[in-house]
Amino acid sequence: MPGLFLWLWSGAYLRLLVFPAKQGFRCHLLTVLTNVWPVGAIFKRCDLAAHNQLFSGHALRLWGWLRKGLALFVLGSVVACVLLNWLPPATTGMMLYRHLEDALENRPYQPMDYRWINGQDISWFAFAAVVAAEDQLFYRHHGFDWHSIQSVLEDFSEDGKAPRGASTITQQVAKNLFLTPSRNFLRKGLEAWFTVCLELFLSKQRILEIYLNIAEFGDHLFGIEAASQRYFGISASRLSAQQAALLAATLPNPLNLKADRPSRYLLRRQHWILKQMQQLGH
């Protein structure tokens, strides 16, 4: 009789292994069979080995997918940066983010005022103004201003406040073009990767040209040409030093700093940028 029970019990256990029903039901019965009858211990080790093998197979497949995804991401980002040498971006991550904000807040759709213009058609004062305002070491670093980053980290360690920005123009292009303004370590890591790609595959002049064309200058307003037309009624090629400095002064917060209604702070910042342009030989 014990032999019959042993045969029936072991047979039921094996059938659950070979012909599984629903996963939850199978796991429940396996637990009962293993704990109630001592013979379950014989099969428990076999099932554990099968489970480990199955888990190992899933892990290997997952690792394979992750490797392929990472390879595609690297290849895609490199190709995208290389193509920027000749092709202007049709849109940017920042523009898409603004559309998403509108949708989440149930605001009506508003198109972006975005007009690409070639670098030779942009006033030389515009290039000088953004370098003086945003990144005076632009032509001397390779995408990262390590001295400014160190200063920011030191200030943060002393007062514990949120660190101020230390982004170079190349980093801002990476963020505005490919990413969103969210603040987290993943975004900063991706920003660093795209910054390296831009510096490797684009010239400094092309990076600056892209920056001027995709920078946000107001509500749904992107690019130096669109900003020049809206605020001054002229093309970007005709910007004066004062006008270029005023536009550059709005860049830290273009939704609150209005070039058509400049505050005292904005005018002081414009004056400071003009002085920096002179000191830098522009």
Alpha-carbon span 142 to 137, nearest angstrom? 10
- Model confidence pLDDT, tens digit, residues 174-198: 999 999 988 889 999 999 999 999 9
pLDDT beyond 60 at 271: yes
Long-range contacts of 47-54 (CB under 8 A, 24+ apart): 47/17, 50/17
pLDDT of 13 strictly over 70 = no
Give the type of residue at 180.
Answer: T
Query: With contact defined as beta carbons under 8 Å apart, do 247 and 217 qualify?
Result: yes
Q: Which of 96-105, 152-161, 184-193, 234-243 has the weakest average pLDDT?
A: 152-161
The predicted model gives 207-227 an average pLDDT of: 97
Please give the residue that has the higher pLDDT: either 128 or 149: 128
Q: Which domains does the chain have, with CATH numbers?
A: 2-69 (no CATH), 90-279 (1.10.3810.10)
The reported pLDDT for the residue numbered 6 is: 37
Question: pLDDT > 70: what percent of the chain?
Answer: 74
